[in-house]
Amino acid sequence: MEKNNMELEQLVSMLPFLARLTGGFASVTDFSGRRICMVDANGQEVGELAGQVCELAREAAQAGRPLAGLSRIVDRAGDWAFPIGNYILTCSNDERVKKEHKLRASLERALPMIARVAGGEAVLFNEKGERLFVYNAEGTERIQYKGKTSQQARQAIEAFEPEVGKSFSISGAMAVRIPITENFGLGFNNEKSTRQQQKLYEEVKRLQQTRFTFDDIIGETEAIVKAKHMAKFVADGFSSILLYGETGTGKEMFAQSIHNASERCCRPFVALNCGALPASLIESNLFGYEEGAFTGAKKGGSTGVFEQANGGTIFLDEISEMEISLQTKLLRVLQEREVVRIGGGKPIKVDVRVIASTNKEINYLISEGKFREDLFYRLNVIQIKVPPLRERVEDIALLASHFVQQYNKTFGKFIEDIAIETMKILQSHHWPGNIRELQNCIEYAMNMVKHEEKILSPKHLPAYLRSGAGGAKESVVVEIQTGGNNLNEALRETERAVIKRTLEVEKYKKVKVAQVLGISTTTLWRKIAEYGLEKEAE
């Protein structure tokens, strides 16, 4: 009897340690499963349960081996029973599981707040990675996403390590999955803040497109000073402006400078190249479209550049390339100050200033029926002529030096001056591609410079400049029929002959031809089609 009492006393003394270790109740029972002594996780005796039968303890006594089972007190908790001598030692993790339940309930209540702070979704998931609760950044439960499984969340639980990686909700967003217990974890992402950052980035990117001011327009000749003075004078007005100038003269730089000098400088500046897109795309870009307006129209529709530029400035580059049918619609927008999206019927009021540009003589296009006269007068309220580089030879030295300094920084070179012979070559060239061609030539030359060289020499220049009248720039003779050609026709014939000859010399390599002529490949292709040179360019 004493032996039994000593055995019982030893088992009872173990109960507080066992209860704390398992995080629940610990008890000693007899072979019938009746509890002799029971303590909780704090080591305190639980008298009210003494004398009650523990079924798992009775089953372990009958089986003569340890058994495990589910708790009948707390959901998802476990019970264990160990036969020791004449008694059965039992324990559970009820209290620890209760705390888990409380923690989980607390996290469920906190999910909306976590989602708002994180700037995205907040998720509670189980050991399988299944989403139990999901809230968005506004604190609203997203019931439709419950039950979906995340492999990354499951891996976090299995490894019991936080998992940080890309969110699958939106490109660029990050997600964190944190295991809280072996049974559940917390996850959140920053999808909303990422969207806001992306929107801000696009806004900054758009604003960066208007980086030019009048200070960036380099030149001291009378022609360029006069153009700048006129543009500054009318910058704060509302009237439409038409910029005349050859390709590469810097018409968009003038447009941006006018915008930045106006009261609209903090509002959008949206540019659309009317010669770079087919008519169907230009129309949808100009006026926008409603959902389902045509095959491929994106869900929710799209705003056009007039809506995007509302309150600011819209720059219509190469307006002379716009098809006559679109000119009619554009005229209506300028007159009514409202747009109607493709597939829509509701007029949308817009407040925009229109700046257009052309490298063609629009009066000639009007006489050919290719441009509406009423649209011309609507756009040509203020006319500014941007002079070609050949009319401002004195500015070539300033521009060349500016580009040299610019590419010194870009390429890590140390050119301090331009040789007199080099400058003579630059100033004697005709520059059909204007400032853009000059910039391309300086960029080429700076690529040819060695790091130890300090002077830009003729040897660094492109071959066609060094060869004078040779190469692609050799003289082109065009016969002009007296009495049969006006000035515009003569210029067109000359331009066609120059393009044809350059194609031949450069073996019809379009990128090279465009670079030599100082025009974009888009403009080159358009001119090839315009002058019927497609077969020769094939």
> What is the sign of the dihedral through the CA atoms of 428, 434, 439 and 441?
negative
**pLDDT at residue 199 tops 70:** no
The domain boundary, picked from 137, 169, 194, lies at 194
Please check whether residues 107 and 133 belong to one and the same domain.
yes
What is the distance between the alpha carbons of residues 369 and 456, in angstroms, rounded to a whole number?
Answer: 49
Count of other CB atoms within 10 angstroms of residue 11 = 23
Question: Would you give the distance in Å from CA 231 to the centre of its chain?
Answer: 33
| Two tokens, residue 347 | 């007029």
Which pLDDT belongs to residue 536?
Answer: 56
Please check whether residues 461 and 498 belong to one and the same domain.
no
Structural domain includes residue 79: yes
CATH number for the domain spanning 24: value is 3.30.450
Select from 322, 139, 88, 360 the least CA-distant residue to 244: 360
Q: Show the domain range for 533.
A: 487-537
**pLDDT at residue 253 tops 60:** yes
CB burial of 67-79 (b: ≥16 within 10 Å; e: otherwise) equals: beeebeebeebbb
Which pLDDT belongs to residue 122?
Answer: 92
**pLDDT at residue 171 tops 60:** yes
Strand-pair partners of 418: 456
Structural domain includes residue 201: no
CATH number for the domain spanning 185: value is 3.30.450.20
**pLDDT at residue 478 tops 80:** no
Please check whether residues 309 and 241 belong to one and the same domain.
yes
Kindly state the average pLDDT of the residues 418-433.
Answer: 92
CATH number for the domain spanning 318: value is 3.40.50.300
> What is the sign of the dihedral through the CA atoms of 359, 361, 364 and 365?
positive
Structural domain includes residue 204: no
Q: What dihedral angle (degrees, nearest 10) is formed by the CA atoms of 124, 126, 128, 131?
A: -30
Phi/psi for 242 (5° steps) reads: -115, 120
Please check whether residues 224 and 346 belong to one and the same domain.
yes
Please check whether residues 180 and 247 belong to one and the same domain.
no
What is the distance between the alpha carbons of residues 486 and 423, in angstroms, rounded to a whole number?
Answer: 36
Please check whether residues 262 and 379 belong to one and the same domain.
yes
Question: CA angle at residue 199 from 196 to 201, to 5 degrees?
Answer: 110
State how far the alpha carbon of 288 is from the alpha carbons of 134, 308, 344, 538, in Å: 35, 10, 9, 36
Structural domain includes residue 473: no
Which pLDDT belongs to residue 524?
Answer: 83
Please check whether residues 367 and 256 belong to one and the same domain.
yes
Please check whether residues 281 and 361 belong to one and the same domain.
yes
What is the distance between the alpha carbons of residues 163 and 156, in angstroms, rounded to a whole number?
Answer: 6
Phi/psi for 172 (5° steps) reads: 95, -15
The domain boundary, picked from 407, 435, 468, lies at 468
- Percent with pLDDT over 70 in the chain: 89
What is the distance between the alpha carbons of residues 365 and 274, in angstroms, rounded to a whole number?
Answer: 16
What is the distance between the alpha carbons of residues 39 and 351, in angstroms, rounded to a whole number?
Answer: 79
What is the distance between the alpha carbons of residues 532 and 538, in angstroms, rounded to a whole number?
Answer: 12
What is the distance between the alpha carbons of residues 455 and 312, in angstroms, rounded to a whole number?
Answer: 45
State how far the alpha carbon of 465 is from the alpha carbons of 90, 402, 430, 469, 494, in Å: 98, 19, 10, 8, 20
**pLDDT at residue 105 tops 80:** yes
Q: Could you tell me the pLDDT band of residue 487, with boundaries at 50, 70 and 90?
A: low
Please check whether residues 381 and 283 belong to one and the same domain.
yes
Structural domain includes residue 475: no
State how far the alpha carbon of 519 is from the alpha carbons of 57, 249, 266, 433, in Å: 92, 10, 31, 6
Select from 165, 101, 102, 108 the least CA-distant residue to 131: 108
Phi/psi for 137 (5° steps) reads: -65, -15
Structural domain includes residue 519: yes
Q: What dihedral angle (degrees, nearest 10) is formed by the CA atoms of 426, 432, 438, 441?
A: -90
Structural domain includes residue 24: yes
Which pLDDT belongs to residue 356?
Answer: 95
Question: Would you give the distance in Å from CA 355 to the centre of its chain?
Answer: 27
The domain boundary, picked from 434, 468, 502, lies at 468
Please check whether residues 105 and 73 belong to one and the same domain.
no
- Percent with pLDDT over 90 in the chain: 43
Structural domain includes residue 242: yes
Please check whether residues 341 and 395 belong to one and the same domain.
no
CATH number for the domain spanning 522: value is 1.10.10
| Lowest pLDDT segment from 38-47, 362-371, 475-484 | 475-484
Contact 135, 142 (CB under 8 A): yes
Q: What dihedral angle (degrees, nearest 10) is formed by the CA atoms of 464, 468, 474, 477?
A: 150
Contact 125, 177 (CB under 8 A): yes
CATH number for the domain spanning 399: value is 1.10.8.60
Kindly state the average pLDDT of the residues 159-165.
Answer: 89
| Two tokens, residue 426 | 């630059």
**pLDDT at residue 475 tops 80:** no
What is the distance between the alpha carbons of residues 91 and 84, in angstroms, rounded to a whole number?
Answer: 13
Which pLDDT belongs to residue 473?
Answer: 43
Residue entry with tokens 């499963």? 33
Please check whether residues 174 and 272 belong to one and the same domain.
no
| Lowest pLDDT segment from 166-180, 231-245, 420-434, 481-495 | 481-495
What is the distance between the alpha carbons of residues 219 and 397, in angstroms, rounded to a whole number?
Answer: 10
Cα Rg of the chain, angstroms: 40
Select from 514, 515, 516, 538 the least CA-distant residue to 527: 514
Kindly state the average pLDDT of the residues 476-488.
Answer: 56
Domain count, the chain: 5
